[in-house]
Amino acid sequence: MNFNARFADGLPYAAFLDKYGTADQKQRWKAVYDAVKLNNEQIQLLQGFVREMKVLVTAGAWCGDCVNQCPIFARFAEATDKIQVRFFDRDDEAELSQALAVCGAPRVPSVLFLSEDGYPCGRYGDRTLSKYRQMAATQLGAACATGIVGADDGSLAAVTQEWLDEFERIQLMLRTSGRLRELHGD
């Protein structure tokens, strides 16, 4: 699949939600978007990015994992003009979703990082390590959580940092690429 060509067909964050989200879903995404807070160090890191990154995301407006992660990508893109994010609906884009399948299924969100000239550089999704640790603690232990009392364990901040770590990893891959260094003369 030519992912670079597909990237051009994707939707920016707001357009994706306008097209696929119900009023209730948009409100949930907005609540998480409003809650995502980048600290000064994170903003400085993003503003220090040198190479352009294309980030292709398969998602679903209905998906809880997408609600809790995709707004993070929008915040990253706002902090630097080096990140371009495009969203694709998992169900409308079955071929793309299958190409980005995780653990044998078109799980969401699935993220594919591309270089400025469209070469795949990395994939990540559907959940971060801290989220899987949280799930394992509640689902695999002697007793499962009842869900009666919610807990704010700082997971949004942890998930934001883990995604930032992955964006930084890809940025460093692009920055140290011999091919791109030759292209840019640096």
Residue 146 has pLDDT above 80, yes or no: no
Residue 152 has pLDDT above 60, yes or no: no
* pLDDT-based confidence at residue 93 (cuts at 50, 70, 90): very high
User: How many structural domains compose the chain?
Assistant: 1
DSSP string, the chain: --HHHHHTT-B-HHHHHHHH--HHHHHHHHHHHHH----HHHHHHHHT--S-EEEEEEE-TT-HHHHHHHHHHHHHHHH-TTEEEEEEETTT-HHHHHHT-BTTB--SSEEEEEETTS-EEEEEES--HHHHHHHHHHHSSSS---SSS----SHHHHHHHHHHHHHHHHHHHHHH-HHHHHHHT-
Residue 150 has pLDDT above 50, yes or no: no
Where residue 47 sits, what CATH number does that domain have?
3.40.30.10
pTM: 0.90
Residue 131 has pLDDT above 90, yes or no: no
Between 128 and 28, residue with greater pLDDT: 28
In this predicted structure, what is the pLDDT of residue 141? 67
Domain interval for residue 95 = 3-184
Q: Which of 30-39, 51-60, 82-91, 98-107 has the lowest mean pLDDT?
A: 98-107
